[in-house]
Amino acid sequence: GAVVSQHPSWVICKSGTSVKIECRSLDFQATTMFWYRQFPKQSLMLMATSNEGSKATYEQGVEKDKFLINHASLTLSTLTVTSAHPEDSSFYICSALNPGLMNTEAFFGQGTRLTVV
C-alpha cells in the first residue's frame, strides 16, 4: 500500500486563485519531503526541499512567494500555489524519505494534476 499519500489527485481552478496540495507520510515520520513539478513529456523537476520545522529550500528559479511550502508536522507537508496562472498547470508530485533508513529509495505520492483555467 501507499506510504505517501498526496491529495487532491487532480484540481481545476480559476486563474488568480490559490490551490493547496497535501502530502502525508503514512508509515513513517518524514523530516524531509520533496516537491517536484513535471510538464508533459518532460522530466521531474525538483522545486523545493521541505524540512519539518524550518523553511523550505527552493531550487534556483522557483519563486518561494508563489509556491508556499509548509512542513508543520512530521507527517504532513503542503504546497500552496498562490495566484495560479495557466502556465502553472502541471503535474505536482511529492516524495519522502524514511529518515530511519539511510540511503533508501524515495516514496512518492500519487501526484496532483493541476489545471488552471
Partner 1 sequence: RKEVEQDPGPFNVPEGATVAFNCTYSNSASQSFFWYRQDCRKEPKLLMSVYSSGNEDGRFTAQLNRASQYISLLIRDSKLSDSATYLCVVNINNDMRFGAGTRLTVKP
How many residues are there in the chain? 117
65 vs 101, beta carbon nearer partner 1: 101
Distances (CA, A) of 51 to 9, 76, 91, 115: 23, 10, 22, 27
Stretch that binds partner 1, among 17-25, 58-66, 68-76, 98-106 (CB under 8 A): 98-106
Q: Closer CB to partner 1, residue 30 or residue 84?
A: 30
| Dist. CA 59–CA 90, nearest whole Å | 17
Shortest reach from residue 83's CB to partner 1, in Å: 26
Q: Does 62 bind partner 1 (CB under 8 A)?
A: no
